[in-house]
Structures are given as structure tokens and as C-alpha cells.
Amino acid sequence: LGEVGKDNDDDDSVCDGNDRGRKRIMDESRNAEALTLEALSQGMQYRSDFTDSLLSAIQKSAFFEHSPSDVWLLMCCNHASHNRSKVRSLFRQKAASGAFTAELVKGAIMDNGTALSFLFHSSAVDLCDVLVRSSEKLARDIGGVMYNLFFEEYKDPMQRQEIIGALVTHVGSGILSETDVAMEVLAKLT
């Protein structure tokens, strides 16, 4: 019996080593994704032809053709200030039409905090803000979902304070629909 117990201990250490190895590989993968998104964001600042083609392709995509990568790419495009009006309009249109669903947005944001960290301040919060201010209910709802997901994904106090500050600004806007969404999100945050 002693030998069996010893083997089990060795198996646990191998298993722990495998878990550490898997974690390291996942961390490296997330860092690679972050670098890729940062490079795309930087490139989209200088290549309007690439950005215009990408926006056109996303706009022409059918409801069932969208994937989380579309959300990521729109965030990359939104990083460049000269693209913002086009990206905001397209994102709002896709959210209002139901093409961008809560499930799609969740797939794009959850467990992707490292990859999206470069885009948090410059793009992600901006898109949430635009959606919550929208006159279309579906777009406002997606904006609220995004605020909630970003709050869950990011544990850094500064990032969370930025989200709370944006939500408080919505509450103080005096626009009932915007205030309602912001209050719903604030009530859900833990």
C-alpha cells in the first residue's frame, strides 16, 4: 500500500507540473493575442483602406456570420480616433438590429482581459458609452452587458473605477433610458 500511495503522490506532482505548464502556455497565448490586437490597432491608424474594407465586410455580414473576432476587430478600429464615428455607427447598428447579441459579446470579452487590456481605455469603454446613450433599446442593453462583462473581467481598481465613473455619468445624464440601463448595471455589479 505504501508504494501505491507514493505513486499517487508522484502523479499529483506531475499533474501539478502539467497544470503549471498549461497555465504558462495559456498565459503566453493571451500575451500573443494582446500583442496581435495591439499591432492591428496601431496598423489601423495608418491604413484607412484596410479599416474601410474591414468595416464594409462586417457591415455586409449576415446575423449568423458574426463571431467574437468581429467585436475585437471593431475595438481595434475604434482605437484610432479618425475611425471612431464609423465604428460607433456600425457597432450601434449591429447591436440595435440584434446581430451582436449578449452571447456574442460575452464570447468576445470573458477570459480575454489580457488580450483586450490595450483597448480598454481607448476603445472598449467608449463603445459601451456610445451604446448606452443609443436611442435603440437593444443597443442600450448590449452596452449594459458590455459594462458588466468588463467589470467582471477586470479586477484592477483603476479600471473598475473608470467603469463606475462612466456609469455614474450615465445616471446623471437626465435621460431616463440611459439612467435606467446604468442603474441596472450598477445594481448587478458585485
Does the reported pTM lie above 0.75?
yes
CB neighbour class for 61 (10 Å; exposed up to 12, middle 13-18, buried from 19):
middle
More confident residue, 1 or 68: 68
For residue 8, what pLDDT is reported?
46
Distance CA 145, CA 65 (A): 21
The cell for 126 is 467608449
Residues 24-45, mean pLDDT to the nearest whole number: 71
How much is the average pLDDT of 10-34? Answer: 61
Q: How far apart are CA 52 and CA 29, in angstroms?
A: 28
pLDDT exceeds 50 at position 98: yes
Give pLDDT, residue 3. Answer: 40
Distance CA(60)–CA(70), nearest Å, equals 12
* C-alpha–C-alpha distance, residues 180 and 37, integer Å: 33
Count the alpha carbons within 13 Å of 157 in the hemisphere toward its beta carbon: 0
Judge whether residue 2 has pLDDT over 80: no
Judge contact between 61 and 70, C-beta under 8 A: yes
pLDDT at residue number 1: 36
Please answer whether residues 95 and 61 qualify as being in contact, where contact means their C-beta atoms are separated by less than 8 angstroms. no
**Is residue 79 within 8 Å of residue 87, measured between CB atoms?**
no
State residue 5's pLDDT score: 43
Q: Is the pLDDT score of 24 beyond 90?
A: no
Q: Is 135 helix (H, G, I), strand (E, B) or coil?
A: coil
Return the higher-pLDDT residue of 96 and 32. 96
* Chain-centroid distance, C-alpha 15: 32
What pLDDT score was predicted for residue 44?
78
